[in-house]
Amino acid sequence: MALSEKMLMSGEHNLQTTRTHVKALIVPFLLLLVIAFVGTFAAAKVGDVGRGWVRWGIIAVAVALALWFVVLPFLRWYLWTYTLTNRRIVEQKGVLTRTGRVIPLSRINDVSYEKNLNDRILGSGTLIIHNASDEAGLLLDDIPQIEQFHRAISDLVFEHHRNDD
């Protein structure tokens, strides 16, 4: 889900869009399995008690739990994106209320990344972007293919600083 055309400035184009690593969905997936198993087992165990209303109640609770603990985290993950354009980095997030943060490449002072053992195994990492403002830097957690994203941002930042001189 790249930055929409209406959000781009004239002469700007999307270079790369990413979101956090899919490992963020492991716990919701495991919860889905547990909810499905327990819900199915409980619904089968009660049978037609109360003309089936108890079973439908169990199914409704299981669906509500699945929506809350599986679908909502998936939507948060899917709709939280980081977009790199030829002029800026844009972070967008939110399901119902969308928020965003923009850092122009010309304001970036430092780009670094961190990878712990799990990140090294999965090929992800945390990207830390410091800019020239008083505000804290942008922390991009669990970015897949972190080295490639880091290299792309660093190249653009060096190019912008070289052109400014």
CATH number at residue 113: 2.30.29.30
Which of 148, 4, 12 has the alpha carbon at shortest distance from 87?
12
Mean pLDDT within 11-35: 91
Q: Is the pLDDT of residue 34 over 90?
A: yes
- Identify whether residues 51 and 34 lie together within a single domain: yes
Q: Provide the domain count of the chain.
A: 2
| Tokens, residue 34 | 């547990």
Q: Is the pLDDT of residue 49 over 70?
A: yes
- Contacts for 164 with CB less than 8 Å, ≥ 6 apart: 106
Q: Is the pLDDT of residue 1 over 70?
A: no
Q: pLDDT grade, residue 60 (50/70/90)?
A: very high
pLDDT digits 0-9 by tens, 78-113? 999 898 888 888 888 988 998 888 888 888 888 888
> Cα–Cα distance between 144 and 112 in angstroms, integer?
15
pLDDT digits 0-9 by tens, 114-161? 999 988 998 899 998 887 766 667 888 889 999 899 999 988 888 877
Give residue 136's pLDDT: 67
- Identify whether residues 39 and 87 lie together within a single domain: no
- Identify whether residues 90 and 159 lie together within a single domain: yes
- Identify whether residues 99 and 147 lie together within a single domain: yes
- Identify whether residues 115 and 159 lie together within a single domain: yes
Give residue 7's pLDDT: 74
- Identify whether residues 39 and 58 lie together within a single domain: yes
- Identify whether residues 43 and 102 lie together within a single domain: no
- Identify whether residues 58 and 122 lie together within a single domain: no
Give residue 69's pLDDT: 96
Other CB atoms within 10 Å distance of the CB of residue 157: 19
Domain that holds residue 44: 25-76
| Tokens, residue 35 | 């909810």
- Identify whether residues 53 and 32 lie together within a single domain: yes
Give residue 98's pLDDT: 87
- Identify whether residues 72 and 151 lie together within a single domain: no
- Identify whether residues 12 and 89 lie together within a single domain: yes
Mean pLDDT within 38-46: 91
